[in-house]
Chains A and B, each alone.
Chain A
Amino acid sequence: MPTPTKGPRLGGSPAHERLLLANLATALFQHGRIKTTEAKAKRLRPYAEKLISKAKVGDLHNRREIMKTIRDKDVVHKLIAEIGPFFSDRSGGYTRITKTLARKGDNAPMAIIELVQQKLVSTEAEAARKTKFAKDEKPAAAEVVDQDAEAPESATIDAADEPAEGAVEVDGEPSAEDVKAEEAAEKDKS
């Protein structure tokens, strides 16, 4: 049996709360960052992150599940086409809440809730190195299945690598000569 939410509802009634959260989530996905009261932001965070998790799967069933709460089709499309794939490397924690100064009129504590714009540090490092960590690398299915075919391939790869390395070493010497030749050419010009 699902445990009921303790404490008062946002807006007064369960129906009002559902609408408030749906509207807040729509605004968040539309604008990427919204300013609201701290209580609403804290309630919105798990609600919006569950929607993003559905958007990451992005099949028809999940699209219909999202359509139950977000009634704006443009926002649903943006959520599935842009926001979901952007968070593909992130496993949760898609939103960030930052407190701001209290509201002028009623001194309500306010907060800014936003979709996290940065990529993960590990993702950026991978992009910089253009390699993956060993644990993240997917084992190629073909290599594992036919091991007989694997052995000659690896042998050929090794064989191909060795001459390539030798070629690099060979290239190194003429390049130095080229530099000398260029310098000489420049001297001639001057």
Chain B
Amino acid sequence: MAVPKRKMSRSNTRARRSQWKTSAVHLVACSNKACRQPKPQHVACPACGQYAGRQVAQPA
């Protein structure tokens, strides 16, 4: 079985982990003029429950 020959240095570990990044969720304003809350695109608005002018869900 293949095993590591050397202990991985703290520097190498940290250099690798420096690439773990998150990105901000892309949000758009709700198309409902009365609401205008930020929401993810192509998703029913969690604030007013509308999507494309249709009441889809009960607002949370």
**What is A's interface to B at a CB cutoff of 8 Å?**
35, 98-101, 112, 114
Q: B40 → chain A, closest Cβ, in Å?
A: 7
Please give me the residue from chain B that is nearest to A118 by CB atom. B54
Chain B residue numbers with a CB within 8 Å of A101 are 40, 43, 46
Q: Are B42 and A99 in contact (CB under 8 A)?
A: yes
Count residues on chain B whose CB falls below 8 Å from chain A CBs: 9
Chain A residue numbers with a CB within 8 Å of B51 are 98
A-B contact pairs, 19 of them (CB 8 A): A98-B44, A98-B51, A98-B54, A98-B56, A98-B57, A99-B42, A99-B43, A99-B44, A100-B43, A100-B44, A100-B46, A100-B56, A101-B40, A101-B43, A101-B46, A112-B44, A112-B56, A112-B57, A114-B56
Q: B25 → chain A, closest Cβ, in Å?
A: 10
Residues from 32 to 57 in B contacting A, C-beta threshold 8 Å: 40, 42-44, 46, 51, 54, 56-57
**What is B's interface to A at a CB cutoff of 8 Å?**
40, 42-44, 46, 51, 54, 56-57
Q: A182 → chain B, closest Cβ, in Å?
A: 47
Chain A residue numbers with a CB within 8 Å of B46 are 100-101
C-alpha spacing A100/B42, complex, angstroms: 8
C-alpha spacing A99/B56, complex, angstroms: 10
| Besides A35-B57, A98-B57, A112-B56, 7 new A-B residue pairs in contact (Cβ under 8 A), listed by A number | A98-B56, A99-B42, A100-B56, A101-B40, A101-B43, A101-B46, A112-B57
Chain A residue numbers with a CB within 8 Å of B44 are 98-100, 112
C-alpha spacing A35/B40, complex, angstroms: 18
Chain A residue numbers with a CB within 8 Å of B56 are 98, 100, 112, 114
